[in-house]
Structure 1
């Protein structure tokens, strides 16, 4: 069980090297081909981004030569406003970084949210300023009995199957003592050879699902969130911008998310 085609979005930002390093390490682990897609807008070739933007292909291929990963390099249409030219349909997994206000106008506007919403491919979103470290050893699933949660759990199977520890975080308390939803998730994943722990957040109070998730002990050692609660508007805003700064800063871990 593994990803065979991984795609990473490349740009002239200071987050690019960490994103690229992570993509290569994941491709090595899964024996996958890695496609790098240059999504710099025309404005990236002016000012402080210029040298980094111009050297993307050279840097990408230099890392490929050292790593032994089979790669492809593509350049997105600098005038493209949509996702159709970003090659996302031809991958099992996409890798991007949270939008950075400083990158506005320098990265094609469809990346990352519009691509995720339209391409039907799961994406790992790295936090701004993220430093490369192991990802996928201890995973927390933000679970809810929904289509979105079910989709992302199945999209994450190659990572869940390799994890040392998987915890399902359930925000909503059970309807009654006979509610077996999370136990059925446990049995379903066990059928795939994946053992999970369960963390029930039964006293929500005034906390949002995001706040409860980050208050959970399950996240203390976690290195990846599998975002089954993506349909929740506050989660989407926190991941892609538009919320208060303090809540946005809580996203210190990579998030694997599907739509």
Structure 2
């Protein structure tokens, strides 16, 4: 198994160029076709027309947006030519999540980025990421909003809880896992003794399965008092371990619980400092 079609989300943000560079590196690594899908988080047109003179500002904003889109396309095509890679450019005048989700059915891997703390459309971007992970049916590689995006996947942590979502993520991430120098199956202990016993047995089985794929695997545990603090415990372990990539199932608990109480999925989507491959 390998990724032969990679779909990356591009927009007019400062982080888009770094996301493109990272996506190009992955396309080169897997000899994949890279599709750049460009769209932005649009305000409703009626918001401009509800104030006097708003139509003028809306027209000017549309002109500026078209200029940004054209510049992004030129940068994308120039990068492809420079790397000698095959690619496809798609641009939509639509809200970001629907075009991305529609096109995701035809890709092996999706790439998107976290919302930054100073992002004007932060709330929209958070909803976009959640919708992409939950409804695309494809693995989503979420890149951090800050820091250098270096080639990743040399030291990988698997956030393993024995769930269907975690198993899906492990198999979706296999092209990364077989090429990694080190893979750590990380079990998060939350104090539930019955669950811990089952998790330990499942962890040994996943270790053996990965070893049959010639994956260099070990295991570790991180202790968290409750499910609500498990995400913070995971992020702390990642920061101290030196791993550069995380594989995790998304929303193995009900989504409402993660939204209100916190959890691993929410922590990774909002605060991970390394790329995270998530599957649902």
What are structure 1's unaligned runs of at least 5 residues?
A: 242-247
Which of the numbers 80, 100, 106 marks the counterpart of 1:90? 106
1:41, 1:106 within 8 Å by CA — same for their partners in 2? no
> Kindly tell me: are residues 152 and 140 of structure 1, through their superposed partners in 2, closer, same or farther at Cα, counting changes over 3 Å?
same
Q: Partner of 2:7: helix, strand, or coil?
A: strand
Q: CA deviation at 1:130?
A: 3.3
Q: CA deviation at 1:42?
A: 4.7
Q: CA deviation at 1:12?
A: 0.4
2:114, 2:126 within 8 Å by CA — same for their partners in 1? no
TM-score, structure 1 as length reference: 0.84
Residue 184 (str. 1) matches residue 184 (str. 2)? no
1:230, 1:257 within 8 Å by CA — same for their partners in 2? no
Which of the numbers 129, 133, 136 marks the counterpart of 1:116? 133
Q: Which runs of 4+ in 1 moved over 6 A?
A: 105-110
> Kindly tell me: are residues 191 and 218 of structure 1, through their superposed partners in 2, closer, same or farther at Cα, counting changes over 3 Å?
farther
CA distance in 2, matches of 1:80, 1:21: 20
2:35, 2:89 within 8 Å by CA — same for their partners in 1? yes
Q: CA deviation at 1:110?
A: 6.4
Match of 2:51 in 1: none
CA distance in 1, matches of 2:93, 2:101: 6
1:41, 1:105 within 8 Å by CA — same for their partners in 2? no
| Bigger-Rg structure (1/2) | 2
Deviates more, 1:166-175 or 1:37-46: 37-46
Match of 1:131 in 2: 148
2:22, 2:149 within 8 Å by CA — same for their partners in 1? yes
Match of 1:25 in 2: 25
Q: Partner of 2:18: helix, strand, or coil?
A: helix
Q: Partner of 1:208: helix, strand, or coil?
A: helix
Map 1:20-169 onto structure 2 (within 5 A). Answer: 20-42=20-42, 46=61, 50=65, 51-78=67-94, 82-83=98-99, 86-100=102-116, 102-104=119-121, 111-169=128-186
CA distance in 1, matches of 2:233, 2:42: 41
Structure with the higher fraction of residues in helix conformation: 2
CA distance in 1, matches of 2:155, 2:97: 37
Number of positions where the alignment pairs a residue of Structure 1 with one of Structure 2: 249
Match of 2:247 in 1: 226
2:28, 2:85 within 8 Å by CA — same for their partners in 1? yes
> Kindly tell me: are residues 235 and 128 of structure 1, through their superposed partners in 2, closer, same or farther at Cα, counting changes over 3 Å?
same
Q: CA deviation at 1:231?
A: 2.6
TM-score, structure 2 as length reference: 0.78
Match of 1:244 in 2: none
> Kindly tell me: are residues 24 and 84 of structure 1, through their superposed partners in 2, closer, same or farther at Cα, counting changes over 3 Å?
closer
Match of 1:245 in 2: none
Which of the numbers 234, 237, 242 marks the counterpart of 1:216? 237
Deviates more, 1:170-179 or 1:151-160: 170-179
Deviates more, 1:167-176 or 1:92-101: 167-176
1:167, 1:218 within 8 Å by CA — same for their partners in 2? no
CA distance in 1, matches of 2:40, 2:28: 25
